[in-house]
């Protein structure tokens, strides 16, 4: 078994309203950061995983991302496996 590090980026789909992002955008405006817009907030999940190879590690993480780490109805995710 080899050890890998996995990075899962979970973000709301483009057409879903990001309420948390809008709130931060308004806070930025009130702090005079009005040159910024279209703020979107996602999750950055890192974890350690043991697997026989990087393909198996990615398959495990993909299952976990679909079942638990993301909500497939409103979120997309990308996976990166690092040795």
The footprint of its own copies (CB under 8 A) covers 6, 9-11, 21, 24-25, 27-28, 31, 33, 35-51, 60-61, 63-64, 67-69
Q: What value, to the nearest 5°, has the Cα angle with vertex 20 and ends 34 and 82?
A: 100
Distance separating the N- and C-terminal Cα atoms of the chain: 12
47 versus 82: smaller Cβ distance to its own copies? 47
Q: How far is the CB of 54 from its own copies (least distance, A)?
A: 13
Smallest distance from the beta carbon of 73 to its own copies, in angstroms? 18
Widest CA span in the chain = 52
């Amino acid at each position: 078994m080899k050890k890998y590090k996995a990075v899962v980026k979970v973000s709301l789909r483009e057409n879903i309203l990001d309420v948390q992002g809008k709130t931060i955008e308004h806070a930025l405006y009130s702090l005079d950061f009005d040159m910024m817009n279209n703020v979107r907030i996602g999750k950055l999940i890192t974890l350690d995983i043991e697997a026989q190879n990087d393909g198996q590690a990615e398959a495990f993480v993909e299952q976990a991302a679909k079942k638990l780490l993301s909500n497939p109805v409103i979120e997309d995710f990308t996976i990166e496996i690092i040795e």
